[in-house]
Every structure is written in C-alpha cells, then in structure tokens.
Amino acid sequence: MELIKEDEGLEPVSPTGQYFNSKVMSVSILGILESEIPIDDSLATLIIDLFLPINPRFSSIMVMGKKGARKWKKVEVNVENHVLVPSFSSPKGSSSPSENDSFLKSYISQIAMHPFPQGQPLWEIHIIKCPTSEAQGTIIFKLHHALGDGYSLVGALLSCLQRADDPSLPITFPSVNKFSSANKDDRNTGIRKVVSTCFLPLVNTVRDFGWSLLKSTCLEDDLSPIRCGSGSFQPFSVSTITFSLDRIKEIKSCLRVTINDVITGVIFLATRLYMQRVSPNSNLSTNSTALVLLNTRNLQDYKSVREMVRPNSKSLWGNKFAFLHVPIPKVKASDYQFSNPLKFVYKAREVIKKKRNSFGVILTGKLLEMMKKCRNPEAVATHINRTMRNSSMIISNVPGPMEKLSLADHPIKGIYFTVAGSPESLQVTMISYAGNLRVVVRAKQGFINSEL
C-alpha cells in the first residue's frame, strides 16, 4: 500500500472498508448482468462513461496517511487495466451455450480468487460476449467491498442502467416496510405490553450479544455437509435459481408472515434437505448458524446513488450493515421426512423477530469500535473473519428494480450477485428483479454441490 507524506484533503477510508481490505481478508462483490442480445464492441466505452462519474472512489486508490490512517487518493484511471474481454473456446473450435455455462462458472471463480493489483482503483469489469443458456452475453462487475456494501454497489450498478420500457421514467424499487402487517397482530396491552416493550428487549439484548461474542471467539458450529471448518478462502462454484415474487407473496399472505420470513424459511429447509440428501446418516440436529446481513440504514425505501452521495446524505453511502446470528432450525429423528416444511418459515420468523427486538447488533458494533481504538483495524478484521469462519453460511438479500432495465441499449434479462473473499463454505445471496427473485448459491468447490 502506497505511503504518502501529505494527506490533508483526502477522504478517510471507513472502518469497515479497512476491515475488508486487510492482511486477514480481501472481500469483493461480483455483480452479474445478463444481456438479452449479443454484446457489441462499443459497450465497454459506454460503461466506463457511465460508471466512473458515479462516485469518486471508483477513481481512487487506498493509501496510508502520515499518521497510519488509510485514505482515498484520487488518481488517473487506465481503463485498459480495468475492462477485460475474455474469450471462451472449446478444443473443437466452437462451443455451445451449455458448454459456455461451465466456462462462465469457472471464470467467475477464477476472477474471484485473483486479488486486485496494488496501486490502482479497486474495481474491474469483465465483458463476456459468448452466449450461455441464460443470456446472449454477460457483464461482470468486480467491486471491492472497501468501496461500499451490497446496497451501495448494487445501487452503483443500477445507476448505469435505465428502464427498458421508457428511459425517461425513474427506476422504482419495492418498498421496505419496517413493520409489516404480519407483526401487527402481536401487539399486547397492559402489563404484557410493558413486559414486551421493556423487559424482553433487555433479555434479548443480553442473550444475543453474549451469544454473538461467543460465536466470534470460541464457539464454532459443528462440522457438517455445509461446513468443513477450513478457514481459508478457496475456489467456489456458483449456481442460481429464479422464483416468482408473486408466488412468494401468496405464501406470505396465507401464512401472515413477511416476505423475508418466507425466503429465510425456504433457505433453511433447503439446507437441511441438502444435508440429508448428501449424508443420509448425518445428524440433522447439528449446531449450524447462518449469518444474516442486515442493512442498518434508517430508510423506508431504496435510495439512488445520487441521493446517497449528496452532502447532507453522505453517510448513506459505504458499508452500513451488520451480522445477525440466526440458528438453522434443527430436525429431530422423527422429522426426517420433513412432513411439515412450513415450520421452517414459522421458526425463521420467530427467531428473527426476537433478534430484531434487541440491541445486540448495536452493542456488537460498539465492541468493534472499541477494538479498533484499543488495538488496530487488523485485529477487528481478524475478529470478523473468525465470526464468518465459525458459522456455517451467510445470507444476504438486496432489493432490486421492479422494471426490466437496459444497459446502453442492451436489454438486461437477469441480475444477480455474490461475494468473494469470505471464508465460509456456503453463501446464499438474493436480489429481486422485474417480478422475480434470483437466488445464488456460492459453495466451496469439491465440498458442496452447488447445483443440488
């Protein structure tokens, strides 16, 4: 990392940005856009013209200030180092879309493992012109997590896009209601209300903070078909599946829960089913924990990048998230046939509701701040890395646009993302787009069958 003598006027790197770009770990977000039509040669220039002006960090490198603090320093961007156009070819000289699917998956794993070169901005764009079974072309944005979290960086990608039906209209996003109708039936009165609003949050806070501290230090999940215990980042495979949001909303309405309750319950059910399938004799009552990423911005709706970077809203951009430890429901021996899968949805709702009704996440954030002040960012990075390593999986969900979009006159068929550089064996990321929910499974290669 470059050392500078004068750092006045340079923007400081956020604490979380330092944690994710350290000796312990280097975490990146891979955003993938699928084009409905073949990609032409002019797209690379158009993307750069749209992408670079979004935020000064895309034209900056991370440097070490004179007092040891990391800062963002603006530099000239050599586009040739950042925009790559690989070509896939089979030994026979031509390849089919199904063959290109395998090439694309291998390529995603390959670029995820490759670190960013020192001394240049922390992003890359990979333009793949070969057709796959899903699209006529693919654009991969590799963005370092130090630039921002999924909310920020997905917002940056969407700032390059426009509505396919009418570019003059704004892109709209699903409303994020903090208190859904599913929670309104749980209101209490009298003494029960006092207990639920005062005493229970205190109990939940003590329990959640204590458990989170143990999970980040000495308490590891059991080894299982979804957790091998290896702490290093290794090659992975990526598989995706698409669900209809309307179908999910139907389930939500019937069960009187939230959309997130349904999604989380489905993931937990699928995880236990997978464990049973690959290891029929395995113990389905293993202690397995999912780290669910929460957006901590106090927002009712999605904000555009232009709104996030306004002077009076500057804090909206960056890494504004927290981990929520959620145990994956255990399955008893008598339930091996999973006769009542809805219990996974109800259990997910029960656990997440309790954890949201506590200040454990806030206390954990304060603990990280104290560690940074008393020790250094590397110590905090080690703590975060150990937290992820001790858990079985990570779940991240980002709201996406409600309409179909286009990039420089290339209609976008699908959007999805995954995260690279974290040590867990299994990761599930989700984004909504044009009435569908794209679920991505990133799994350790050779250990977990991501397609299954």
338 located within any domain: yes
Q: Are residues 185 and 92 in the same domain?
A: no
pLDDT for position 61? 92
173 located within any domain: no
% of the chain at pLDDT higher than 70: 81
Tens-digit pLDDT profile for residues 172-191: 877 654 434 444 444 445 55
Domain count along the chain: 2
Range with the lowest mean pLDDT among 47-61, 258-272, 353-367? 353-367
pLDDT for position 154? 74
174 located within any domain: no
Q: Are residues 377 and 432 in the same domain?
A: yes
Buried b (16+ CB within 10 A) or exposed e, 374-391: eeebeebbbbbbbbbbbb
Q: Where does the pLDDT of residue 117 fall: very low under 50, low under 70, confident under 90, or very high at 90 and above? A: confident
Whichever domain contains 358, its CATH number is: 3.30.559
371 located within any domain: yes
pLDDT for position 336? 54
User: Of 163, 190, 220, which marks where a domain is finished?
Assistant: 163
416 located within any domain: no
Q: Are residues 249 and 374 in the same domain?
A: yes
> pLDDT at residue 208 above 80?
no
452 located within any domain: no
Q: Where does the pLDDT of residue 441 fall: very low under 50, low under 70, confident under 90, or very high at 90 and above? A: very high
> pLDDT at residue 337 above 60?
no
Whichever domain contains 43, its CATH number is: 3.30.559.10
- Residue 386 to residues 53, 229, 232, 234, 447: CA-CA distances in angstroms? 36, 11, 11, 16, 20
User: Of 163, 191, 224, which marks where a domain is finished?
Assistant: 163
172 located within any domain: no
Tens-digit pLDDT profile for residues 236-255: 999 999 999 999 999 999 99
* Average pLDDT for the chain: 81
Q: Are residues 159 and 185 in the same domain?
A: no
pLDDT for position 433? 93
Tens-digit pLDDT profile for residues 415-435: 999 999 988 999 999 999 999
Residues 6+ apart with CB under 8 A from 37: 136, 137, 410, 411
> pLDDT at residue 38 above 90?
yes
The range of the structural domain enclosing residue 20 comes to: 11-163
Task: Please give the angle made by the CA atoms of 138, 140 and 146, to the nearest 5 degrees.
Answer: 165
280 vs 337, higher pLDDT = 280
% of the chain at pLDDT higher than 90: 34
412 located within any domain: no
